[in-house]
Chain A
Amino acid sequence: MGPNLWINYGEAVAAILFCIGFTNLLLQTNLIKKIIGLNIMDSAIYLFLAEKGYIAGRTAPIVTGGVTSVEAYINPIPSGLVLTGIVVSVSVSALMLSLTIRLYIRYHSLDLDEIAAQLKKEGR
């Protein structure tokens, strides 16, 4: 164990959230809950990135009063990365939800095991 676990509590929370989302993805049989688990994993990654860019005692990267020194602002790169990531995650979840709707129309079920059983029976 390294020395920084309690100082890095934000990253630790991000790791725990990631694992909760991953467990959801593995163990839930309901497709909607799987999608929510994937979204939670997304958020965990964003939280991790933002925590990496955060610097205590500095303000958001918006120039105020003409001050352009590095000592005044936090790291702007993670913010830019996460900003684009959040919008992409919406389109990913919309795509997954539309696939879920198609699956429900075809198999009348949201349970992945049931869908797999029906698929096997059809492929006799």
Chain B
Amino acid sequence: MTVFQIILMGLLIICAVSVSFSKNLLNSVLIYMSFSLVMSLLWICLESPDLAITEAAVGAGITSVLFFVTLKKIHAINIAEKTEEQTTSQCPAPEKGGSDE
């Protein structure tokens, strides 16, 4: 169990460092999600299953979903939209009024 714990803790540190160095916001949120998942495994190793269930549902589930929604609100996940707009703007196609709808 000790080796497993040490591996998990190494993963934690790797995740925490790579959050700070990733350029893309979406990537860092995904890495934070995996951080929470590793954390919930670690709770089981530390004999507290209550915390494992809560961390898996809350840290890896709801916090990440809230982060994703925020990224959507602030248009950080708009790479697909941008390429779509570029392709549509080259041909004189639909009005931009669609975005107001």
Contacts and interface: CB of A to CB of B under 8 A. Distances in A.
Interface string A92-120: 01100100110010000010000000000
Contacts of A62: 49
Contacts of A20: 13, 16-17, 20
Given A20-B20, A97-B67, A82 B35 contact: no
Nearest to B75: A104
Contact of B54 (A10, A53, A74, A87): A87
A22 to B, nearest CB: 11
B70 A97 contact: yes
A50 B32 contact: no
Contacts of B48: 50, 53, 60, 74, 78-79, 82
Contacts, number: 109
Interface residues of B, number: 37
Q: Choose among B9, B29, B46, B47 the residue with the greatest number of A CB atoms under 10 Å from its CB.
A: B47
Contacts of B76: 32, 110
Interface residues of A, number: 46
Contacts of A86: 51, 54-55, 58-59
Nearest to A98: B70
Contact of B25 (A13, A30, A50, A58): A30
A59 interface: yes
A101 B74 contact: yes
A53 B50 CA distance: 14
A54 B13 contact: no
B78 interface: no
